[in-house]
Amino acid sequence: MVGGQVESIKIKGSTIDIRNTATLAFQRLWNRNNLGAQIAEDGDYGPNTESKLRVSPANGFKIAPWDKKPRLLRLSQPRMEGSDVERLQTAAVKEFQATKTLTADGIVGRQTLGAMA
């Protein structure tokens, strides 16, 4: 690590530089979520990419890379996060609420928590 940034990954005795790949992934994710403020998708970490990285949402972007091509959700550590997980959780809560004749809004409030007890 240099300055808190990963420069490479060592795999079975070989070292692979991942900086351009990681930067390109961020640039694509930024552009998918910010149609009016596009940046170059070139894998280069320059001033434009850095400025967008500094204002990126800490909890992740609304549109994830897997939204158009669903991924397999599974129990894992650390827990999986993302818009697809949120949609699945909301749907499960609404289904539970409907079976308990509660307002099916997907929000786990006092009444939903009480029904779970």
Dump pLDDT digits (tens) for 60-114.
788 877 777 777 777 777 777 777 778 888 888 899 899 999 999 999 899 998 9
Residue 55 has pLDDT above 90, yes or no: yes
Nearest 5 degrees, angle CA 65-CA 85-CA 72?
Answer: 70
- Average pLDDT of the chain to the nearest whole number: 82
| The residue type at 2 | V
The pLDDT of residue 3 is: 47
The pLDDT of residue 12 is: 64
- E strand or H helix at 15: strand 14-17
Residue 62 and residue 19: Cα distance in Å, rounded? Answer: 24
The pLDDT of residue 2 is: 42
Contacts of 25 (CB under 8 A, 6+ apart): 65
Burial 73-95 (b: 16+ CB within 10 A, else e): eeeeeeeeebeeeeeeeeeebbe
Structure pTM? 0.53
